[in-house]
Amino acid sequence: SPSCPDGRKRRVCYYYDPGISNVDYGKGHSMVPRRVAMTHGLVASYGLLNDMTRLRTRPASPEELLAFHDQKYVDLLGRLTPAAYISDGDLRRTAEEHGIGPVRRWDDGACTNDNPVIDGLMEYCLSYAGGSLAAARALCGGDHDVAINWSGGMHHACRGHANGFCYVNDIVLAIKQLLGRFRRVLYVDIDAHHGDGVEKAFADSNQVMTLSFHQYQTDFFPGTGSIDDVGDGAGRYHALNVPLKKGMDDQGYHELFKPIVGKAMQVFQPDAVVLQCGADSLSGDRLAGLELSVGGHAECVRYLRGFNAPLLLLGGGGYTINHVASCWCYETAVAVGKEDEIADEIPHHPYDHYYRSQGYKLQCRTEAPGSLSSGENKDAAAIRVKALEHLSA
């Protein structure tokens, strides 16, 4: 029987490395990798693992990171441990030059550090990058239509620099892998933050179109991604940005997302699509202020899946971890075409106590956006017009 509204089954593969549950950015840090283990626990409890091929893959090799990152930075990641960071002054200075380790110290001795020296740093990087590379290879091989790595999506990492909780840019690596087989790749980024690292890596390319939707206001990280940033040289109009005000809800979001992504699909005609599914765009996130529901967020996945191009789904941000796991589990159901079959009631499983505050419900069924009264303001309408203009240029 058909598994989705368009009657076409999708062959889905899925990467998960249980080692992620031991990765710790430090006490009080916003980034909690355990949310990926929670997602996996939910996916398993709903029986969705039976609908996907599990990618049993090796971690990436340090050499594979060199497809984007520079040698000095990869060497640093390989040598950097919490103990070596403390005992080796040269290493400490090098790490801090590359954005890793405490750089901001407060008078009271506390320090905030987006990119800490974590235990097992290189293993963690090689695992999530290896997952995105394996997922990309699965799409290149043609035996899968959708490939998922919820531990990937680290869109801020630069060639030789950690940035915004991201050490290695698995997205750039995966897109480069896809370009070995596909001529044009569309990258769509629904994380609440601007996908700056990916945009910059392909800013002068007309083979990759990058399209980021993000909260944009003074003091919101990273501060780039204005509507007027459209790429350089041959890549002009192949980088698109859709800046959003905080408070943007499902309806307002999709009045932008669908026309803009639809037009991008039409004019760019990509051979493969990468969707960074950062879940910090959900309402109630601890860092961001957008107000998507799980249903509204997953609608982005459903919409892109409907174009039938090979689709790579990656994670990203997301700081209210029970919401993140609910969202990515539901999106896994969308990928395999079971979104109408999945019960809102969360099954009993080892992580179920995390969902108490949401009444043990996935909260995936939301009211259809009203068709009459538009929730849109003038600013959003002007952004849509400009973005569509960039796509016709």
Task: Report if residue 366 touches ligand TV1, rule: CB under 6 A.
Answer: no
Stretch that binds Ca ion, among 24-32, 207-215, 254-262, 346-354 (CB under 5 A): 207-215
Q: Which of 178, 180, 242, 231 is nearest to 209 (CA)?
A: 231
Element (H, E) at 165: none
How does DSSP classify residue 359? T
Any catalytic annotation for residue 156?
Answer: yes
Whole-number minimum distance, CB 295 to Ca ion, in Å? 19
Q: Is the peptide bond before 222 cis (omega within 30 degrees of 0)?
A: yes
Indicate left, alpha or beta for 153 from its phi (over 0: left) and psi (-120 to 50: alpha): left
In the structure encoding, which two tokens stand for residue 112, read together?
């905030």
Name which position in 51, 64, 145, 191 contacts ligand TV1 (CB under 6 A). 191
Alpha helices (runs of H) in the chain, residue ranges in sequence order = 34-45, 62-65, 71-79, 82-87, 89-97, 121-140, 170-178, 196-201, 250-268, 294-305, 321-336, 378-392
Q: Which of 310, 313, 341, 278 is nearest to 30 (CA)?
A: 278
- Amino acid making up residue 386: K
Name which position in 9, 11, 29, 181 contacts ligand TV1 (CB under 6 A). 29
Torsion angle of C-alpha atoms 28, 330, 146, 299, degrees rounded to 10: -100
Task: Report if residue 101 touches ligand TV1, rule: CB under 6 A.
Answer: no
Nearer to ligand TV1, 153 or 337 (CB): 153
Task: Report if residue 194 touches Zn ion, rule: CB under 5 A.
Answer: no
Name which position in 101, 116, 195, 278 contacts Zn ion (CB under 5 A). 278
Task: Report if residue 358 touches ligand TV1, rule: CB under 6 A.
Answer: no
What does 212 bind: Ca ion, ligand TV1, Zn ion, none (CB cut-off 5 to 8 Å by kind)? Answer: Ca ion
Task: Report if residue 243 touches ligand TV1, rule: CB under 6 A.
Answer: no
- Backbone phi, then psi, for 302, in 5-degree steps? -60, -45
Task: Report if residue 317 touches Zn ion, rule: CB under 5 A.
Answer: yes
Tell me the C-alpha distance between 238 and 96, whole Å: 33
What is the edge-to-edge ordering of all strands in the sheet holding 185-189?
Answer: 53-54, 12-15, 146-149, 311-314, 272-276, 185-189, 208-215, 239-244
Q: Which of 178, 166, 71 is nearest to 114 (CA)?
A: 166
The residues in 271-330 that bind ligand TV1, with binding defined as CB under 6 A, are 278, 280, 287, 316-317
Task: Report if residue 315 touches Zn ion, rule: CB under 5 A.
Answer: no
Nearer to Ca ion, 207 or 210 (CB): 210
Task: Report if residue 109 touches ligand TV1, rule: CB under 6 A.
Answer: no
Task: Report if residue 289 touches Zn ion, rule: CB under 5 A.
Answer: no
Of 156, 194, 214, 323, which one is the catalytic site residue?
156
Name which position in 71, 112, 357, 377 contacts ligand TV1 (CB under 6 A). 112
SS3 105: strand
Name which position in 64, 170, 189, 191 contacts Zn ion (CB under 5 A). 191
Tell me the C-alpha distance between 279 and 317, whole Å: 6
From residue 163 to residue 202, the character string flagging contacts with Ca ion as x (rule: CB under 5 A) and all else as - is --------------------------x-x---x-------
Whole-number minimum distance, CB 34 to ligand TV1, in Å? 15
In the structure encoding, which two tokens stand for residue 26, read together?
């430090």
Task: Report if residue 241 touches Ca ion, rule: CB under 5 A.
Answer: no
What does 333 bind: ligand TV1, Ca ion, Zn ion, none (CB cut-off 5 to 8 Å by kind)? Answer: none
Supply the residues annotated as catalytic: 156
Q: Which residues lie near Ca ion (CB under 5 A)?
A: 189, 191, 195, 212, 214
Q: Which residues lie near Zn ion (CB under 5 A)?
A: 191-193, 278, 280, 317
Q: Which residues lie near ligand TV1 (CB under 6 A)?
A: 28-30, 112-114, 154-156, 164-166, 191, 193, 221, 278, 280, 287, 316-317
